[in-house]
Chains A and B, each alone.
Chain A
Amino acid sequence: MTAPAEATTLSRRATIALRVAAVLTLIGLALMVWSILVPTPLPVMLAMTVGQGFGTLAFGIYILIVVRQLRRELRR
């Protein structure tokens, strides 16, 4: 089966990085939700440091991959 015309083929590294970003997002979300459900010092601190750090890193990876893809497409 062929991919749709607009589909972008990602390199293996980029695919793995995007999956890592997805997993980091899940971990970050879990920490943030934990701090909301159990607002005690440890969960709140973890959410505001590790949780948000993971979330930022994941978004950074996503932006990097999408921007690189766009630049590659524009060059073609």
Chain B
Amino acid sequence: MESWIFSNPLLALALGCAGVSAMLVLWYLLRRPTLTNATKLVLLAAIGVLPLATAATGNVAGFEATKSRRFCGSCHVMTPYKNDSEDPTSKTLAARHARNGMFGDENCYACHADYGMYGTVVTKLGGLRHVYEYVLHYRNMSLEEARATIHIRKPFPNSTCMHCHSTDGPTWDAVREHASLLDRLRDGSVSCASAGCHGPAHPFSKVTP
């Protein structure tokens, strides 16, 4: 058993609840006891309370797992992006953010998540579209083909960068290019990730204005 399961109490709790529930259900199926009040209580735990606990903790753990680079890289077309992020010598934006302790293993999510009140829900819905696209169009595509065709659905918004890089700090203002492009960076007409600035975000990124 992998040690990461036991390093996360939620996962251990989910697995524990699932194990106990499965044992009680199997006991009921194999022993076929009479439906006494005690049996009803056992079944309430086995069919109701414990699976609910498994689902709740499993959901939290599942949502956390969807933030990890391992999760994003599990579709083969994302392998080059994942490899670039993990390359300690890469100078792309993605790799530099992956080396930043603030993001680390969650660097894909940190930059591609929608922020705001309903951001997580919007991001997960967007993720469902990725699964749809992958299953229908990219599943059997070669990496070379995928690399040439995969593109970001809408231009990467500078507002995502500005959640951390507020454009207000003295260090940020001290960069001449930042000062001269301030308005255009804030309204998004110049991308932070454009090739002449901090881009490309990935080695295979398409051209951004």
Q: Interface of A with B (CB < 8 Å)? A: 3-4, 6-10, 18-19, 21-23, 25-26, 28-29, 32-33, 35-37, 39-41, 44-45, 47-48, 51-52, 55, 58-59, 62-63, 66, 69
Contacts and interface: CB of A to CB of B under 8 A. Distances in A.
Contacts of B34: 3-4, 7-8
Contacts of A9: 35
B47 A41 contact: no
B62 to A, nearest CB: 5
Contacts of B74: 40-41
Given A22-B25, A29-B18, A69-B35, A48 B62 contact: yes
Interface residues of B, number: 41
B179 interface: no
B15 A22 contact: no
A8 B47 contact: no
A52 B55 contact: yes
Residue from the set A41, A51, A66 with the largest chain B CB neighbour count within 10 Å: A41
A41 B55 contact: no
